[in-house]
Structure 1
Amino acid sequence: MDLQLTGRRALVTGSSSGLGEAIALLLAQEGADVVVHGRDEARTRAVAEKVGAKAVAVGDLATDEGADAVAAVAGDVDVLVNNAGAYDHLGWADSTPEVWLRTYDVNVVSGVRMIHRFVPGMRARGWGRVIQIGGGLSGQPMAMQPHYNATLAARHNLAVSLARDLKGTGVTSNVVAPGAILVDSVQRLLTEMAPERGWGGEWAEIERNAAEDFVPNDVGRFGRPEEIAGAVAYLASPYADYISGATLRVDGGTIRSVQ
C-alpha cells in the first residue's frame, strides 16, 4: 500500500534509537524525506545512515537553543512527530518538584517548541501533520512515575487543543498511544528479572509471563516498535485526512475503554 508520503519532509524527534528510529525508518521506506534527530551526534548519524536520511539534526529540545538548532537543519517540515522524551522509575517520595519541572520540560515543552517552529509553515502551505507519541498512562495513571504519567496526559491534551486551533487549515493533530513496547533495553531488563520472578528461561515464555504481570492485554505480549511506526505512518498519510484530535491506541488492548 502506497501511503503517498513521497515528497513530504518529516521530522521525528528522538529518533536516534528505539521507537523514534523505527518511525523514521518506516517513514523513509514510504518515501518521506526524513530528518533524524537526537542529542548524541554519533548515534544520530548512525541511525540517519541506516534510514537513508539526508538531514541530521542534533540538539536538546528542552532548551530554546537546541530547538533553534534543530529547526535550522530541518527546514520546512510537513510531518512533525513529537516522540522525544524521557522517563525514570521514581515514585511520589522521590519525584521532587524539580524532577517534575524537568520532566515536564523534556516531555511536554520540548514538543511545544517544535510546534511553534514548524506549524506556522504547515498552515501557510495548507497541509501538515503533527503527531504526539503519548501513552495509556495518560488516562489510567499508576502510583509509580506520577510526573511521567502527568506529562503523557499533557501530550494528549495539547494535541486535542491544537487540533481545534488548526480547524480548516489542512493541518491535523493526533496522538499515537503505545502500550509497553519491546525495545532492546526492555528485553534486557525482563530477561534479567525473569529468574527471580519465575517467568521461565526461554524468551517466548518470559515475554508472555512478563506481559501478564506488567501489562495484561488481549494479545499476550509486548508491542513492537514497528507496530507503533505503522500507526504513525498511517496518521501521517493522506488516508488520515479525516482524523482530527484523535488518539490511536496501539497497546494490545491494555487500556480497557470503549472510547
Structure 2
Amino acid sequence: MELNLGGKRALVTGSSAGLGAATAKLLAAEGATVIVHGRDEARSGRVADAIRAAGGVATVVLGDLDTDAGADKVAEAALAGGPVDILVNNAGFYRHLSWTDATAKEWVSTYNTNVVSGVRMIQRLVPQMRERNWGRVITIGGGLATQPMNTHPQYNATLAARHNLAVSLARELKDTRVTSNVVSPGAILVEATKELVTGIGPARGWGNTWEEIEPNAVNSLIPNDRGRFGRADEIAAAVAYLCSDYAEYISGATIRVDGGLVKSAF
C-alpha cells in the first residue's frame, strides 16, 4: 500500500530512541521528510543519520518542550524548512512510583511534560495546518489511560489526559481536513522492557532463554490474544497509516495496538 507521504513534512517529538525513533524511520521510508526531535544531540543525530543512510530525508531539532521558550525554539526550527504537515506527539516521561512516593510536585511535573508539552506543539503548529486545510496530529497514548495500575498514578492520569485532549482537538478541527487521533500501545518490547523481564524471569520460573521467557512473562503480566510483547515497528505502522490519505475519514479515534490486551498486571 502506498501511503502517499511524499512531499509531507513530519515532526516526531521524542524521536531520539524507542517508539519515536521507529516512527520517524518508518515515516521517512514512506517518503516523508522527517524532523527528528530530542534533547540529546548525539542520540537524535544517530536516528537522522540512519534515516539518511536508508535513503530518507531527515533533519534534527533540539529543545525542551517543558517550557514555552523551549517549545518556541523547537517549532521555529521545525518550520524553518517549510510547513509541518504531520505532528506526532510522542515525547513523554515515566517514573515508577507508588501513591505514597508520587508527590504533588511529581504530579505537576509529569503533567507538564506529558500533557502540556504536547499542547504547546499543537498550539504552535496546528493553526498552519488549518490554514492549509490538511494535517495530521497523532498522539501516542497507552492502555493505562483506561486500565490504570495502582502504581505510578501520576503517569496513568497523564495518558488519560492525552487521549482526552486528542478527541477534543478532533472536535475543534471539525469541517477541516486536519485530523487528530490516538495510537494506544500495549506493552512494547524496548530495551528496558527486555532487561526487566529477563532479569526477573528465571526467578519466577519463566525460563532462561528469551524464547521461553517471553510467552510466560506475557501470560503473567500482560495477557493478550497474540501472546507476546508488541514491537516498536508495529506502533510506527499504525501512526503511518493514520498519517495517510487512507485515514481521511478517521478522526477522534483511539487505535489500540496491544495484541488484544485483556488486563495489565504490572
Distance in 1 between residues matched to 2:211 and 2:113, nearest whole Å: 34
Which one of 52, 58, 65 corresponds to residue 61 of structure 1?
65
How far has the Cα of 1:54 moved from its partner?
Answer: 3.1
What's 2:103 paired with?
96
What's 1:214 paired with?
221
What's 2:120 paired with?
113
What's 2:49 paired with?
49
Distance in 1 between residues matched to 2:51 and 2:190, nearest whole Å: 18
Unaligned runs of at least 5 residues, structure 2: none
Report if aligned partners of 1:107, 1:151 keep a CA contact under 8 Å in 2: yes
1:197 aligns with 2:193: no
Distance in 2 between residues matched to 1:161 and 1:220, nearest whole Å: 34
Distance in 1 between residues matched to 2:203 and 2:23, nearest whole Å: 34
Report if aligned partners of 1:174, 1:246 keep a CA contact under 8 Å in 2: yes
What amino acid sits opposite 1:39 in the alignment? Answer: R
Partner-residue secondary structure (3-state), 2:163: helix
Report if aligned partners of 2:15, 2:36 keep a CA contact under 8 Å in 1: yes
What's 2:231 paired with?
224
Which one of 165, 170, 175 corresponds to residue 168 of structure 1?
175
Report if aligned partners of 1:86, 1:106 keep a CA contact under 8 Å in 2: yes
Matches within 5 A, 1:27-42: 27-42=27-42
1:123 aligns with 2:130: yes
Report if aligned partners of 1:136, 1:255 keep a CA contact under 8 Å in 2: no
Q: CA RMSD in A?
A: 0.9
Of 82-91 and 63-72, the range deviating more from structure 2: 63-72
What amino acid sits opposite 2:44 in the alignment? Answer: T
Distance in 2 between residues matched to 1:193 and 1:61, nearest whole Å: 35
Unaligned runs of at least 5 residues, structure 1: none
What's 1:21 paired with?
21
Report if aligned partners of 2:34, 2:58 keep a CA contact under 8 Å in 1: yes
Distance in 1 between residues matched to 2:7 and 2:154, nearest whole Å: 38
Task: Please list every run of at least 4 consecutive aligned residues from structure 1 whose deviation after the TM superposition is greater than 4 angstroms.
Answer: none
What's 1:73 paired with?
77
Report if aligned partners of 1:55, 1:73 keep a CA contact under 8 Å in 2: no
Report if aligned partners of 2:36, 2:47 keep a CA contact under 8 Å in 1: yes
What's 1:4 paired with?
4
What's 2:184 paired with?
177
TM-score by length of 1: 0.97
How far has the Cα of 1:242 moved from its partner?
Answer: 0.1
Deviations 1:183-241 (A, max 9, x none): 11111111111122121011011111111111110001100000000000000000000
Report if aligned partners of 1:61, 1:106 keep a CA contact under 8 Å in 2: yes
